[in-house]
Amino acid sequence: MKIGFIGLGNMGAPMAANLAKEGHSVIGFDVAGTTAEGVTVAGSASEAATDQDVVITMLPNGDILRSVATEILPHMTRGAAFVDCSTVDVASARTVAEQADARGIFALDAPVSGGAAAGTLTFMVGGATEGFETVKPLFDIMGQKAVHCGPSGNGQAAKICNNMILGVTMIATCEAFALADKLGLDRQSMFDVVSTSSGYSWTMNAYCPAPGIGPQSPADNGYKPGFASELMLKDLRLSQQAAEMADAETPMGEMARDLYQRFVEDEDGLGKDFSAMLPRFEAMRRS
């Protein structure tokens, strides 16, 4: 396939490189001038999108997605697919899909979770079934799983709901370890009990926030980010924006957003992994 790739950052560059390694013709553009192995450099987003079978974007937010879509859609071929792998608000994803549909272009919102370089991404995909089936071979190259979640916007909805659970669960896990410390319960004992009983969770068993406990995680590397606290804050803000739009009550999601906002903006969480909430709770006392 001929593929245009816009947004060659930490996630986009290895995704584009993996497609090129499999023999696809990939032309890419990034406003920062970054490149990817095996990818031809375009001078603009519109150049990267012109006459391609598929155009993939990996962008910072919904406003930029809307701007890029306005620029590139007139240059895309009818019947092509526009795949946005960014994590953005549901409204932006659906607006862009409407613009693409009006031009006869398949639009897929396909945010990701997992490792881009290792090709272990999971894609949560919203959009038409025909478009999903067309692009699925590319998802299989860039990742290990692609789930079609329904119509446009549903990929973003799945990502937002998943990460709201993740943020809330990490806070609860960190709170529990801090409480265990103050009650005199050994962390290893805490892990051995919770990881095999009803407190089991991904944040405990696979990404434990306590250094030296469980599988290796950012906690064992000074909380250098695997998933930065500011990115968790972004996703929790998106979850609350979506909740407001849908008139859904999400008190735990709202509280998690507020805690991460305080951690990132008023404390020392900026640039740290989102599991660094544990030393924060250790230092806190009841007010």
The DSSP code for 211 is: T
DSSP state of 242: H
Q: Report d(CA 191, CA 188) in Å as an integer.
A: 5
Helix, strand, coil percentages (3-state) for the chain, rounded to 5, are: 50, 15, 35
Reduced to 3 states (helix: H, G, I; strand: E, B; else coil), residue 37 is coil
Between CA 179 and CA 278 the distance in angstroms is 10
User: What distance in Å separates the CA atoms of residue 251 and residue 271, rounded to the nearest whole number?
Assistant: 26
CB atoms within 10 A of CB 54: 24
Q: Are 84 and 35 in contact (CB under 8 A)?
A: no
Structure tokens at 270: 């900026």
Is 21 part of the annotated catalytic residue set?
no
* Alpha-carbon torsion (36, 40, 46, 51), positive or negative: negative
- Catalytic residue selected from 2, 145, 159, 272: 159
Write b or e for each residue in 154-170: b if 16 or more Cβ atoms lie within 10 A of its Cβ, otherwise e: bbbbbbbbbbbbbbbbb
CA quadruple 188, 195, 176, 241: dihedral positive or negative? positive
Looking at this protein, which amino acid is placed at residue 95? T
CA gap 138, 72 in Å, rounded: 20
Catalytic sites, residue numbers:
159
